[in-house]
Structure 1
Amino acid sequence: MKGDRAVPFSALSDEDMKWESVLVRLVSTPRTRKELARKLHERRCPEEKAAELLDRFEEIGMVDDRAYALLYIDSKRDFGLRRLRDELRARGVSHADIDDALAESEIDETERALRLARQWKNQRGMTPPKLDARLRRRGFSSAAVREAFAQLREEFGNFHSLGEESDDGDE
């Protein structure tokens, strides 16, 4: 069957139809090819059969890592570029698909960091170093954090003590 572009449904064996129906259910939720391969493996689908099914589903657009990356990027508005890249790579998305999706998304990392900094700046115990660390944990670059802080200073003046100080230590 490998190499056939379109296999008529009637030409599929019972075994093929079984795995095809499993994959149809799995693609109802956006997943990467790697995640789908893992799910098929968990269901004891033979590796060769899984690869064949995934290739076929990729050909017809039901498995599309680039489209997955676009959806993921859009849903994770609180993440910086580094974290987005790391999370997508962990899910099996290729560097090329990640780069394409990020370019298409036209993310302004500084704007994202600034939006979060505005939200978090008045939280109890929030200081500039804590805010800086929190943004970096979300995957924002040093440059984006610096620019966000510069814009916060323009908007709010000097912000040495953003929120009320607390004695409870870290965040």
Structure 2
Amino acid sequence: MRDSKRSAKAEPPKDPAERAREICLRLLDVRPRTYIELAEALTKKDIPDDIIAEVLDRYREVGMVDDAAFARAWVSSRHRSKKLSRRALSSELRRKGVDTELVDEALEQVDGDSEREAARALVEKRLRSMGSVPPDAVFRRLVSMLARKGYPAGVAVGVVKDILAEQAETAELAEQIDVDAMSGEAEAETST
């Protein structure tokens, strides 16, 4: 047992490029990563900047790091599973270091119709669990939930109004909702 500890200590320190490759492979084994995510992880491990650039550029050349493919997969997955809006997806990708042009290209997968369908699915699911909540509170909570998912006020208010109009107990409330006025108020609140 002591011999294994000594032999581990006796090994010469690893080449920084080798360490960088091992770190990247370990991270990429869990899930795809962006160039920036990997660069930040390597920086935290005290890998020199020139080695980071060399290793990541090589990984980019061979297709192991592909920000465009990452962005497309991220948008597809997160929009389908979490029903996130284009705005929320854009924000997430930018935080991960994806270039604006690549973000815009990836977001082309989500058109207005699929965004409304996703918002509708969220509202319908949430509405089932709201039981005895007063109708005006139902409306506020549903619009707020969509806003937290990044949906524009006009989409959020419109989708909620449409669904409430379909429900017998909330149809009267839905008739009283002015989508244009409410979406303008909500946008004014978010810009201040």
**Shorter-normalised TM range:** 0.7 to 0.9
SS in 2 for 1:121: helix
- Is the CA contact 1:135–1:145 (under 8 Å) kept in the aligned structure 2? yes
- After the TM superposition, which residues 11-30 of structure 1 pair with which residues of structure 2 at under 5 Å, given as runs? 14-28=15-29, 29-30=31-32
2:121 counterpart (100, 115, 124): 115
Asked if residue 141 in structure 1 is aligned to residue 152 in structure 2, the reply is yes
CA distance in 2, matches of 1:91, 1:50: 17
Q: Report 1:146-157 matches (<5 A).
A: 146-157=157-168
Q: Which has the higher Rg, Structure 1 or Structure 2?
A: 2
How much does 1:88 deviate? 0.9
Higher helix proportion (structure 1 or 2): 2
Q: Distance in 2 between matches of 1:80 and 1:123?
A: 22
Q: Measure the CA separation in 2 of the matches of 1:122 and 1:27.
A: 39
Alpha-carbon distance in structure 2 between the residues aligned to 1:118 and 1:159: 18
Q: TM-score, normalised by structure 1?
A: 0.76
1:61 to 1:20, Cα distance in 2 relative to 1, 3 A: same
Secondary structure of the equivalent of 1:104? coil
1:103 aligns with 2:104: no
What residue in structure 2 maps to residue 6 of structure 1?
none
1:22 is displaced (CA, Å) by 2.5
TM-score, normalisation: structure 2: 0.69
Distance 1:33 1:149 in 2: 39
User: How far is the alpha carbon of 1:123 from its aligned partner?
Assistant: 2.4
- Identical columns (%): 30
Q: Is the 8 A contact 2:16 2:47 kept in 1?
A: no
> Residues 80-99 of structure 1: matches in 2 within 5 Å?
80-99=85-104
Residues 80-100 of structure 1: CA deviation (Å, up to 9, x unaligned): 111111111111111111111
2:66 matched residue in structure 1: 64
Counterpart residue type for residue 130 of structure 1: R
Give the Cα–Cα distance (whole angstroms) in 1 for the partners of residues 64 and 156 of structure 2: 38
Match of 2:76 among 64, 74, 77: 74
Measure the CA separation in 1 of the matches of 2:46 and 2:116.
45
Q: Decide whether the 8 Å contact of 1:81 with 1:141 is kept in 2.
A: no
1:127 paired residue number: 138
Determine which structure has greater relative contact order: mean sequence separation of CA pairs < 8 Å that are 6+ residues apart, divided by chain length: 1
The offset of 1:63, in angstroms, is 0.6
CA apart distance, 1:159: 6.6
Structure 2 distance, partners of 1:21, 1:87, is 26
Is the counterpart of residue 50 in structure 1 residue 52 in structure 2? Answer: yes
